[in-house]
């Protein structure tokens, strides 16, 4: 990225100010990136844990497959998923507050005894599945923010800070050369005037 500048004091002051802003912001952005990296890892680990928990729960109930054929799936459904939003390192992420279920009325005398246990089992599986989706969404949001922050760190660290420093160095050298040329020109003019004055005497 080429930095536009002019060879004058105004441009030099602007570049120095911009460089200071980036140098001050860089540690903050780096700490945000590392915080996001930790949070992404936590969310990934939680998704893996919930996947494993869901898989183990499903396998443990495989033995009751024949009974699930009798189960009336219209008896229970998810009524509401309560959620809130939490800010993690500047990123808004969803947080599961709870899951509400709606249970249809049914006769305890006309249904098998295990239906109540079956409903509890379905509630638990649904909660784990919904929680897994929340963590997966959180992981994607945090990963996206981490990538953007990493790009910004790289832009500042590898492009802008060296670019501004180089531009400042070029302006300072130009101004020093200009000043040296001006002083040399003044010396030449002064020595010529002295020579003219000496010849006039």
Domain ranges of the chain: 9-195
pTM of this prediction? 0.73
Q: Identify the CATH assignment for 9-195 out of 1.20.140.10, 1.10.287.3240, 3.10.105.10, 3.40.50.2020.
A: 1.10.287.3240
The answer, yes or no, to whether residue 125 has pLDDT greater than 90, is no
- The tokens for 100 are 């509400």
For 23-49, letters b (16+ CB in 10 Å) and e give: eeebeebbebbebbbebbeebbebbee
For the chain, count helices (H), then strands (E): 4, 2
pLDDT of 201 reads 67
Please calculate the CA angle 138-82-46 and round it to the nearest 5 degrees: 35
- The residues facing 98 across adjacent strands are 82
pLDDT tens-digit map of 52-71? 998 888 777 776 666 666 76
Q: What band does 32 get if pLDDT is binned at 50, 70 and 90?
A: very high
- Give the Cα separation of 199 and 201 in Å (integer): 5
pLDDT above 90 (res 142): yes
């Amino acid at each position: 990225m080429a930095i536009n500048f002019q060879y004058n004091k105004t441009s030099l002051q602007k570049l120095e100010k911009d460089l200071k802003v980036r140098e001050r912001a860089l540690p903050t952005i780096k700490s945000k990136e590392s915080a996001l990296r930790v949070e992404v890892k936590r969310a990934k680990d939680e998704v893996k844990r919930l996947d494993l928990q869901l898989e183990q729960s499903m396998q443990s109930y495989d033995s009751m497959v024949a009974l699930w054929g009798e189960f009336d799936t219209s008896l229970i459904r998810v009524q509401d998923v309560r959620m809130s939003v939490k800010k993690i390192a500047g990123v808004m992420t969803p947080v599961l507050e709870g899951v509400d279920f709606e249970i249809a009325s049914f006769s305890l005398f006309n249904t098998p005894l295990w239906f109540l246990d079956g409903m509890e089992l379905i509630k638990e599986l649904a909660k784990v599945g919904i929680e897994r989706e929340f963590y997966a969404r959180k992981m994607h949001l945090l990963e996206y923010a981490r990538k953007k922050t990493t790009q910004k760190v790289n832009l500042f660290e590898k492009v802008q800070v060296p670019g501004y420093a180089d531009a400042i160095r070029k302006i300072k050298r130009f101004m020093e050369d200009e000043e040296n040329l001006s002083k040399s020109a003044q010396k030449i003019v002064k020595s010529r005037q002295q020579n003219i004055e000496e010849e006039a005497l």
